[in-house]
Structure 1
């Protein structure tokens, strides 16, 4: 994935999260959970894009 596409996706996700936090009224706890979920999903996506999670696919837990 080209770097410009990566930056555009991050900007779009950030703007959408800002719009949701600013203009949709909801409880503070729900906003913090939503923010945490979005950050975790973006971090996992970035790790997958850069190939960090591909190297972890060979690790098995248990049998």
Structure 2
């Protein structure tokens, strides 16, 4: 994945999260959970993009 695409995706995710936090009224606890889920998802996606998470992709549960 080219670096410019990576930066664009991170900017879009950040702007969308900011828009949700700013303009959608919700309880602070729900906002914190939403922010944590998005940050964890982005970190896992970045690890996958850079190949640091590929060793765990073969692990199955069940």
Same-fold call, TM > 0.5? yes
- The match for 1:41 is 41
Superposed CA RMSD? 1.5
Instruction: Report the structure number with the largest CA radius of gyration.
Output: 1
**What pairs up with 1:1-63 in 2 under 5 angstroms?**
1-57=1-57
Alpha-carbon distance, 1:56 to partner: 3.5
Q: Which has the higher helix share?
A: 1
Structure-1-length-normalised TM-score: 0.88
Structure-2-length-normalised TM-score: 0.89
Structure 1 residues without counterparts, runs of 5 or longer: none
